[in-house]
Structure 1
Amino acid sequence: MNSLSYFLSSTKNETVKLKRTFAFWLSVIGAFFIPLIYLLYYLLKYEKLIPKEGENPWDSFMTSQITAASPLLIPMFIILVTSLIVQIEHKSLSVKHLFTLPIPKWSVYFGKLFIVLGLVLFTYVLFALLVFIVGYTVGGVHGELQMWEHTPNVSLFVKLLFRSFISVLGIIGLQFWLSFRFKNFIVPLGIGMVLFITGLIVYQAKESIYYPYAYSMLSLFPLDSKDVNAMVWFPRVALYSIGYFLLFSVLGFLDIRRMNIK
C-alpha cells in the first residue's frame, strides 16, 4: 500500500468507529443548541423582534447566533469532543494495538486528527443549515418578522462561520495532542478548560493575538475592522491559528511516534 492508501484506510476505520460514539451525537446536539433556543425565543417573543422599516431581520438573526456560540460554546465543545474521540482508544487500549499493526504511525495519528476536523466542520455545516431552517420557520409562523420578505446575507454568514472555524484550528491541534498524550480523560479536558478560561480573561489585551484560546473571540471582534460587513476572510488570528495547528500537529506526531508501545 502507498501512503495515500494507508491514510484513506485509517480515515475510513475512524469514521466507522465514530458513528457509534457519544462524540458524534454531541456534535449534533451542539449544532442544535443555539438554533433551538432562538426558535423558542422568536416564537414566544416575536413582538419585540419585529424589524424596523427597511431593516433586514436576517442580519441580527444570523450574526447574533454566531456571536452567541463562537466565543464560549464552540471552544468548550472542541475541548470536550476531541478528548472524547481519543479517549475511546485509551479506554479500550486500542492505541497500543493500532501502533503495533504493520501500518505507519502517521496514518493512525493524522487519520484520527482528520476525523476530528471533519466532525467539527460537520457541526458548523449543520449549525448553518439549522439557522436558515429556524429563520424561515419562525418567519412562517409570525409573518410580522418579515423573514420571507427579505433575503439572508449568505456571504456574510458564511464568512463569519469560516472565520470562526479557522480560528479554532490551533485549539484542535493542541487538544488533540494532549488527548493522545494522556490516558486520563480529565487531564487534557482540565488543561483545555484552564487555557480557555484564561483566553476569556486576556482576549482584550494586544498580546492575545498570540494566544490561540482567545482566537474564537478575536475572530468575531477583530482587531482589523469594526465593520462586520468589511471583515476579511483571513484576519491575523486566522493565519496564526493555522500556524499553531500545523505546529501542534507536527509536534504531537513527533511526540507520539516516540511512544514506547509495550
Structure 2
Amino acid sequence: MGCISKYGLFLVNSAIIFMGVTVVGVAAAILQQDTLFGVLLSKVFYSVPLSALIAGLFLTFLGVLGCWGALKEDTCILKLYAVIVAMLLLLVVTVGVMLLVFTAGTAAFLISNMKIIFNEYGGEDEHITNDIDFIQHNTHCCGIYGYKDWVDFNYGNGTSVADGCCKNETVGCGVDLLENPNVEDLVYTAGCLVFLTSAFNSVCIALGVITLILAGIQILSISWVCIIIRDAASYHRLIE
C-alpha cells in the first residue's frame, strides 16, 4: 500500500503540475490586453481569471513539492505539502465554484463594459479604437445588439459606425454610413454580445471544471500523504 501511495502521489502530482500550468496559461491568456476580451473587461471582471491564475501557480508549486516529497519519502516535506494543500483547498473550491457561477452574470458585465468602451471609440486612445475595429471585423459583428447601437455612441454624432463594422474595411469607411440606404449590405448587422458571451462563458466553464478537478485530486493526494507518513512512522518504530 505504501508503494502504491508513493508512486500514486508522484503520478498525481505530475498531473497536477500539468493541469496547474494549463490553468495558468488559460487565465494568463484572458488577462492579456491584446486578447479578444481585453479591451472590454473592467478591473472587477479581471478578478476571476486573476484568481484562477494565482490558484494555478499555487497548484503547480504544490505539484512539484508533492513529487519531491513522494520520491524522497521526506516526511517533513510531505507534512508541509499536506498542510498547504489543506489550507488552499477551500480557496481552490471557491474559485472553481465562482468561475462556474460567474457565467450567469457574464452578459450584464459585458454590456456594461461594452457601452463604456464603445463610447471611447475614435477618441485619444488609438489602442481602444483599433481593438474595437479588430473585434468587430474579425467576429463579423457590429455594436452590442446590432449595428444600430452606434446611433447611441459618442462616435460620429449618431450617423456613423466603427470602421470595423464595414464588410470591406478601410479607414473612414464607417463615416455617415448609417444614413446610407444600403447600410445593411455594407456592414455586419449582428451584434457582438452573443458571440462574446458564448466565448467567455466557455473559457470560464473550462477553468472552473479544471480547477474543481484539481481540488478532487488534491484531496486524494492528502490521503496518500497520510498513508506514506503512517508507513514511515511504522518503519521507524520497527527499527528502533
Scaled by the length of structure 1, the TM-score of the pair is 0.29
Q: Which structure has the larger Rg over C-alpha atoms?
A: 2
Scaled by the length of structure 2, the TM-score of the pair is 0.31
